[in-house]
Amino acid sequence: MSLLEVKEVTHSYGSSRSFWRSAKEEHVLSDVSLSIEQGSCMGLLGTSGAGKSTLGKVILGLEKPQKGKVIFQGQDLYTMDALTRKRIRRDLQVVFQDSYSSVNPRLTAEKIIGEPLENYEKLSPAEQKRTIADLLDMVGLDAEDMKKYPRQFSGGQLQRISIARAIALKPKMIVLDESVSSLDMVNQTNILNLLNELKSVYGLSYLFITHDIRAAYSISDSLTVMEKGKIIEVCNDKNEVFTSQHPTVKKLVASILPEHPRNRTISRGKSRA
Amino acid sequence: MEKQQNVLQVSGLNVAVKSQKGVLPLVQNLNLELKPGKILGLVGESGSGKTITCMSLLQLLNQKAMHIEGSIQLHGRELNGLKEKEMRCIRGKEIGFIMQNPMNAFTPVYTIGNQFVETIRIHTELTKKQAVDLAIASLEKMNLQNPAKIMKMYPFQLSGGMLQRVMIAISMCLRPAVVIADEPTTALDVATQLQVLKELDRLRTECGTSVLLISHDLGVISELADEVAVMQNGRIVEKADVYRLFDFPQHEYTKKLLQARPVLPVNEELSKLVI
């Protein structure tokens, strides 16, 4: 059985009907199905407006889809009772793109990471402090950073704190919605390495939402490409994406930036020398 | 004679911020030269002083809080210390600026057309009608469909990629000698990113503009730049031709940056095809 299964999910926004106009349905997601196995990472690719983030929200249980089911660990996310929901919440975590707006600016790093622990773990203050110090150490930060406020961290450091918060309860799955897109290359590689490491240590599963094939390729086992609310390509082996025949996927692959100037695509006299 | 050839010559630039704790240096002893029609890439991680450098080239920093020393010469004319009024004639006309976040670069309360025509008319003697025509023509060149309609739209009605292209159109329509592009594609998705880079390249071949391309993404740099300067902690640690830099990096930090590139099999296959 898969860890997570999304079955024929259809969703749309702004279908407000009024006296003057009939409901205009524009599907953000139409008939999307996918499944993620325990311990694997699926990369979800697509240009902006393809519905990637909406799918992420649907999977997290934040946006009730109009049709379809989301089944996590054998339970339907949207029909379960409150108690099951609370139990399942700890196994399903998220890291968003904008780290500054996903933390409370008035809390210290200790409080930010401690929040899920307080809700679920009931540790003694000393134990909790030790756990937080361990978590900080795991994401490559200092235990002394505990006392700092979000504004005292750089974007990359704060993203690490968001990751520490997400892994605090040792979840089964993390949804990473453009989590590394705003970071510079060195930070990006560091965080991707960290995520890979955590994956092998805890057997975590990821849904890695991004528009950047380069980042998705370096962390994912399988790749799924979306366009206009539909899944247009599923590559169970991530290397299949380069041989895909679908025009949109081809275009995405063609716009990968070169890693060396000799491979540049914008043709000029000097290039390809 | 050598110096005459450079469009923009920056030598010994020092920028420091005055704070309560004393003077904190942000950029130290920076030397740059932009040759006509060439693209100079400036790379470095966040906080290394890339943006401060281009803000100081345009004299956009707060003079009271910042200390700017050194010489910034545009066609041999000293920019550092120019009066605000004179500087205004240079910004937009002789040095174009493409900002990182297109959403914040426009005023949300005026239409695109209004802001476009304002820029043109401040720097030229064109009538309003001529300015509108020029604006529409330059939007058209940027591959934007239905430019007349875009002129009547407000910034929030356009997508990030479209706005970024509008901004490039505005900064290029007066044929500036230099364009400073500060992370022009960071906010865009990959397909739009390549399109914007292509526009930048086309404009520099057509108009002979020099571009200072700032980015942390080595992919962008290897796609477009002729020369690369690597910045770390406010200093330029290495400066070389783009091919030399990628093949024979000298400085430790450059090597670290190059190692941080994600490796894709497609790039290797491509390089086999090319060679």
Model confidence pLDDT, tens digit, residues B94-104: 888 988 888 88
A3 pLDDT more than 70: yes
Chain B residue at shortest CA distance from A258: B219
Cβ distance B67 to B23 under 8 Å?
yes
End-to-end CA distance of chain B, in Å?
38
What local confidence, expressed as pLDDT, does residue B4 receive?
52
Model pLDDT, residue A198: 86
Does B224 reach chain A within 8 Å, measured CB to CB? yes
Mean pLDDT of B133-161: 87
Please, which pLDDT band fits residue B219 given cuts at 50, 70 and 90? confident
What was the pLDDT predicted at A270?
A: 44
User: Comparing C-alpha atoms, which of B241, B265, B261 is closest to residue A188?
Assistant: B261
Task: Among A186, A239, A266, select the one facing B256 at the smallest CB separation.
Answer: A186
Tokens 């500060």 sit at which residue? B182
Q: Give mean pLDDT, residues B247-261.
A: 86
CA dihedral A155, A156, A161, A164 (to 10 degrees): 150
What is the pLDDT at residue A273?
A: 33
**For strand A173-177 and strand A205-209, is the pairing parallel, antiparallel, or unpaired?**
parallel
Between CA A34 and CA A242 the distance in angstroms is 21
Q: Rounded to a whole number, what is the distance in Å from the CA of B216 to chain A's nearest CA? A: 6
Predicted pLDDT of residue B127? 92
Residue A20 has pLDDT above 70, yes or no: no
Kindly tell me if the per-residue pLDDT of B183 is higher than 60.
Answer: yes
Above pLDDT 90, what percent of chain A? 26
The shortest CB-CB distance from B46 to any of A184, A254, A261 is to A184
Chain A residues closer than 8 Å to B160 by CB: 48
Q: How much is the pLDDT for B41?
A: 92
Q: Inform me whether the C-beta atom of residue B201 falls under 8 Å from chain A C-beta atoms.
A: yes
- What is the band of A174 on the pLDDT scale with cuts at 50, 70, 90? very high
CA distances from B55 to A171, B6, B26, B150, B233 (A): 44, 20, 12, 29, 16
Residue with more model confidence, A23 or B241: B241
Per-residue pLDDT, A267: 58
Lowest mean pLDDT among A90-94, A266-270, B24-28: A266-270
Q: How far is A49 from chain B (nearest CA, A)?
A: 10
Residue B202 confidence (pLDDT): 83
CA B87 to each of CA A24, A75, B52, B58, B105: distance values in angstroms, whole numbers, following the listed order: 51, 65, 17, 8, 19
Phi (first) and psi of residue A191, to 5 degrees: -70, -40
> What confidence category does residue B265 fall into, taking pLDDT thresholds of 50, 70 and 90?
low
Q: What's the confidence (pLDDT) of residue A25?
A: 63
Kindly report the nearest CA distance between residue B161 and chain A, in angstroms.
Answer: 10
Q: What is the pLDDT of residue B141?
A: 81
A13: part of which helix (H) or strand (E)?
none
CA distance A249 to chain B (A): 11
> What is the pLDDT confidence band of residue B257, given thresholds at 50, 70 and 90?
confident
Q: Which of B186, B246, B262 sits opposite A260 (nearest CB)?
A: B246
Nearest CA distance, A29 vs chain B (angstrom): 20
pLDDT digits (tens, 9 = 90+) for A204-242: 999 999 888 888 888 899 999 998 888 998 988 888 888
What pLDDT does A212 receive?
Answer: 85
**What is the set of domains in chain B, with CATH numbers?**
3-259 (3.40.50.300)
Residues of A in contact with B256 (CB under 8 A): 186
Residues B228-241, mean pLDDT to the nearest whole number:
90
pLDDT at A22: 62
A21 interfaces chain B, CB cutoff of 8 Å: no
Q: Which of B189, B205, B206, B241 to probe by mutation at the A interface, max A CB count within 10 Å?
A: B189
B130 pLDDT exceeds 90? yes
Dist. CA A128–CA B100, nearest whole Å: 41
Q: What is the number of alpha carbons within 13 Å of residue A269 lying toward its C-beta?
A: 2
On the 0-12 / 13-18 / 19+ scale of CB atoms within 10 A, B132 is middle
Average pLDDT over residues B19-38: 86
CB within 8 Å: A257 and B194: yes
Cβ <8 Å between A268 and B201: yes
Query: Between chain A and chain B, how many beta carbons pairs sit less than 8 Å apart?
Result: 123
- Determine the angle formed by the axes of helices A155-167 and A109-120, rounding to 10 degrees: 10
pLDDT for position A176: 92
pLDDT digits (tens, 9 = 90+) for A42-61: 999 888 778 888 899 999 88
Class of domain A1-11+27-91+173-256: alpha beta
Chain B: give the shortest CA distance to residue A155, in Å: 9
Question: Which residues of chain B make contact with A252, given a CB cutoff of 8 A?
Answer: 190-191
Average pLDDT over residues A97-123: 90
| Residue B229 pLDDT | 92
Q: Where residue B21 falls among pLDDT bands split at 50, 70, 90?
A: confident
pLDDT value of residue B68 = 86
Q: Where are the domains of chain A?
A: 1-11+27-91+173-256, 105-170
| Beta strand pairing call for B210-214 and B227-232 | unpaired
Strand, helix or coil at B186?
coil
Taking CA atoms, A161 is separated from A3, A112, A194, B131, in Å, by 26, 8, 12, 50
Mean pLDDT of A236-252: 86
Residue A207 has φ and ψ, to the nearest 5°, of: -110, 110
- Residue A271: pLDDT band with limits 50, 70, 90: very low
As a whole number of angstroms, the distance between CA A243 and CA A245 comes to 6
Under an 8 A CB cutoff, do A262 and B265 touch?
no
Whether B51 contacts B182, CB under 8 Å: yes
Nearest by CB to A260, from B45, B222, B266: name it. Answer: B222
For residues A251-258, give the mean pLDDT.
83
Interface test with A, best of B103, B190, B216, B263 (most A CBs within 10 A): B190
Kindly state the average pLDDT of the residues A159-164. Answer: 90
How many Å apart are CA A128 and CA A3, to the nearest integer? 29
Give the DSSP H/E element, type plus range, for residue A87. helix A82-89
Contacts of A262 in chain B (CB under 8 A): 243, 271, 274-275
Cβ within 8 Å, pair A252-B190: yes
Q: List all residues of chain A from 118 to 157 with a beta carbon under 8 Å from chain B.
A: 154-156
Distance from CA of B176 to the nearest CA of A (A): 22
> Tens of pLDDT along B48-75?
888 888 888 888 888 788 888 888 888 8
Q: ipTM, 2 decimals?
A: 0.73
CA dist A99 and A156 (Å) reads 8
pLDDT at A208: 93
Is the per-residue pLDDT at B275 higher than 50? no
Mean pLDDT over each residue of chain B, to the nearest integer? 84
